[in-house]
Structure 1
Amino acid sequence: MEQTFTWKQKNKLFMGIVLPILITQVGLYLMNFVDTVMSGRAGANDLAGVAIGSSLWVPVYTGLSGILVSITPIIAQYIGAKQNKKVPFAVMQGVYLSIVLSLFIFIVGAFTVDLVLQKMNLETEVRTIAKDYLIGLSYGIIPLFVYSVLRSFIDALGHTRVSMVITLLSLPINIVFNYLLIFGKAGFPRLGGAGAGYATAITYWIIVGIAILIILTKVPFVEYKVFRHFYSISLSNWGSILKLGLPIGFAIFFETSIFSAVTLLMSSFSTITIAAHQVAINFGSLLYMIPLSISMALTIVVGFEVGAKRNPDARQYTKLGIGYALLMAIVSAAIIYFFQEPIAKIYSTNPDVIELTSQFLIYAIFFQLSDAIAAPIQGALRGYKDVNITFIMTLISYWVIGLPLGYVLANYTELAAFGYWIGLIAGLAAGAITLTWRLLIVQRKSSAVNETL
């Protein structure tokens, strides 16, 4: 990371950070994408089972990993303020905390998964596949959460290309093990959709191993001497991480869990409807990697500039990020509109699933504009370490406005399953509007504080 003085310099630095993040996010997401696509090739029940399993896992993972995302602005501000000696201690405390969170999730999941699945109106085979998928995935929880911390450290230094390389190296392995375990090739058992969970867990162990090796051997990471000294657990430092991370984690949880909640509510519809809904959500989420990556890049650059007390530069980066997100939203909407059926055919060969998916994808177009505004603003606010109000706004937008509206439309109008999607669109729009208002307030306050120093 370095100080910039012109729009051209900022654009070059920002794109140098955001493009590797985008490739990394797409690569990580492709693991879920591959799970869904390859499970769909195994059968509609496998696709539905993995859809239900993912709907239970994704909000838990994203919410708790969101807590660990707080490591990024913490380290970015340390570096901006030239307090590099504090970095390795913060990273190690994050690693310790990630392991504790992993064990907590593992234990809670062991006692609750059966209860949750049994309360859902699912076919027996779909329920079994969902459970087995989650069991396989659980073996990768610890390495996944540890990697979240290590990646935050790597990205906060501005070396987002390293995270990109790690992901690109591991993705082919995920595909290979999916092929072997889902379809029972080369002497491996045929596990169907459940095999995707085990394949992804194996990949998570490979990712964290590569990250640790790079941090221990490559410049500039080796200069911070992470893993060279195992500090004692600092509950006060955990408190600092959690104070910043919990609102981030809850905000991400409420944002992602609403999609999972809709999928679970759709268990009252047919297996074909569940499968088609999941396909549309899966592809829409793939496109969401663009504004999400811009959001993550903004957390880094805004955190760096705020740490150095350069608020005008922080505002310029925010405008740059939102501008790029809006441009890409238009492109994403066009892709969905013109290629509905070909997109659906990537996931399934079932004509009923393809037809219904094409209809759901039309609604996904309207997600793009709201995401292009809300996601980058959330990233900028995290760079300012402003997270509490964002959490409240997210809760209200998605769970007070979006989900109830969707439930009413789905159950009391002829819209049926499409009613949930209209509710999601309304919730996302409300979030975009309120977050914009919050960003303007935070920017004014930050500038006023610096002027008085």
Structure 2
Amino acid sequence: MQKTFSMVWLEARALLRLALPLAAAQLVMCLAGLVDTLMAGHYSAADLAAVAVGFTVWIPINVFLVGLLMCMTAFVAHLVGAGQFSKIPDLIHQGFRLSLLFGVPGLVLVYLSPLLLTYTGLNPETREIATAYLYAVAWGMPGVALNQLLRGYLEGQAYSRPVMVIQLLSLVLNIPFNYVMIYGKLGLPALGGIGCGYATALIMWLAPLFMLIYIMLNPQLQQTSPLRRLAPLHRDTLYSLFKVGTPVGCMLLFRS
């Protein structure tokens, strides 16, 4: 039987309701770098160059961490479809271990990445700013992994709209945080482009914190809430997440 126009329209609306929040959340990640670059550019040309170069250094590691844990959405959705809600907290706890396993080395890699700046031909002033900027951003890498883990938890249960709102809120907050740290407001020293790094790291941790608060306050998530005693290590589950997530992370890394 052929579908009527109304049926096609309802299906399209359902897809858009799921797809638009996901697309918006991805767009926010790209816009954050643009905001940092624009605001640093108003401070000085050296800070603009330093933030632009620094962003291109850390974003591949960020993208890899996002891709690594992107599979959490599918794993959670599979358990929801099978009615195995009680297994979701255990899955998230294994994902938490995976996020630490790669998030902490991500921090180390970004912290060591200024060694590459000696080959970029930057003048000493710009290289010094870019180095300090990367040192600041590095502390947010574990937060990136945790953010993607909790995104998968919520999106896998069709809570994509709260994720979108939280990501948009993070982008909006990044602007005043940048302003305060770049220009030295509220009693803080003026850090220029380096302040963008601290603001970015702060936002990387605030986004997952907001999601944790949402999980705590949403009674419909109590059955699947991961906010309970940490489940024992399940190597098979952890390996499954690693086996699926690593190729995705590597693919996005090579494309970034």
Do both share a fold (TM > 0.5)? yes
The equivalent of 2:62 in structure 1 is 61
1:113 to partner: Cα distance: 2.1
> Does 2:177 correspond to 1:170?
no
1:223 to partner: Cα distance: 2.1
Q: Which has the higher contact order (CA 8 A, sep 6+)?
A: 2
**1:319-367 deviations in Å (ceiling 9; x for gaps):** xxxxxxxxxxxxxxxxxxxxxxxxxxxxxxxxxxxxxxxxxxxxxxxxx
Instruction: Give the distance between the partners of 1:212 and 1:121, measured in 2 at CA.
Output: 43
Contact persistence 1:154–1:221 (CA under 8 A): no
User: TM-score scaled by structure 1?
Assistant: 0.53
Contact persistence 1:49–1:130 (CA under 8 A): yes
Structure 1 residue runs of 5 or longer lacking an equivalent are 257-453
The equivalent of 1:32 in structure 2 is 33
Pairing 1:193-272 to 2, within 5 Å after superposition: 193-256=193-256
1:29 to partner: Cα distance: 3.0
Contact persistence 1:92–1:227 (CA under 8 A): no
1:218 to partner: Cα distance: 0.3
1:203 to partner: Cα distance: 1.7
The equivalent of 1:96 in structure 2 is 97
Instruction: Give the distance between the partners of 2:138 and 2:108, measured in 1 at CA.
Output: 10
Instruction: Give the distance between the partners of 2:7 and 2:243, measured in 1 at CA.
Output: 35
The equivalent of 2:142 in structure 1 is 142
- The count of residues paired between Structure 1 and Structure 2 equals 251
Instruction: Give the distance between the partners of 1:29 and 1:55, measured in 2 at CA.
Output: 12
1:14 to partner: Cα distance: 0.9
Instruction: Give the distance between the partners of 2:19 and 2:129, measured in 1 at CA.
Output: 37
1:44 to partner: Cα distance: 2.1
Contact persistence 1:47–1:193 (CA under 8 A): yes
The equivalent of 2:3 in structure 1 is none
- Tell me which amino acid in the other structure corresponds to 1:20: P
1:231 to partner: Cα distance: 0.4
1:115 to partner: Cα distance: 2.2
The equivalent of 1:81 in structure 2 is 82
The equivalent of 1:191 in structure 2 is 191
Contact persistence 2:54–2:134 (CA under 8 A): yes
Q: Secondary structure at the match of 1:223?
A: coil
Instruction: Give the distance between the partners of 1:146 and 1:92, measured in 2 at CA.
Output: 11
> Does 2:58 correspond to 1:51?
no
Flag as ranges the 4+ runs of structure 1 deviating above 4 A: none
What is the RMSD of the two structures over their aligned residues, measured on CA atoms?
1.8
Instruction: Give the distance between the partners of 1:171 and 1:120, measured in 2 at CA.
Output: 29
Contact persistence 2:46–2:126 (CA under 8 A): yes
- Tell me which amino acid in the other structure corresponds to 1:172: V
The equivalent of 1:379 in structure 2 is none
1:78 to partner: Cα distance: 2.2
Q: Secondary structure at the match of 2:42?
A: helix
The equivalent of 2:8 in structure 1 is 7
Instruction: Give the distance between the partners of 1:33 and 1:146, measured in 2 at CA.
Output: 23
**1:229-259 deviations in Å (ceiling 9; x for gaps):** 3101222211100110011001100110xxx
Instruction: Give the distance between the partners of 1:248 and 1:25, measured in 2 at CA.
Output: 15
1:185 to partner: Cα distance: 2.5
Instruction: Give the distance between the partners of 2:164 and 2:225, measured in 1 at CA.
Output: 22
1:6 to partner: Cα distance: 4.1
Distance verdict in 2 for CA 1:219–1:7, change over 3 Å: farther
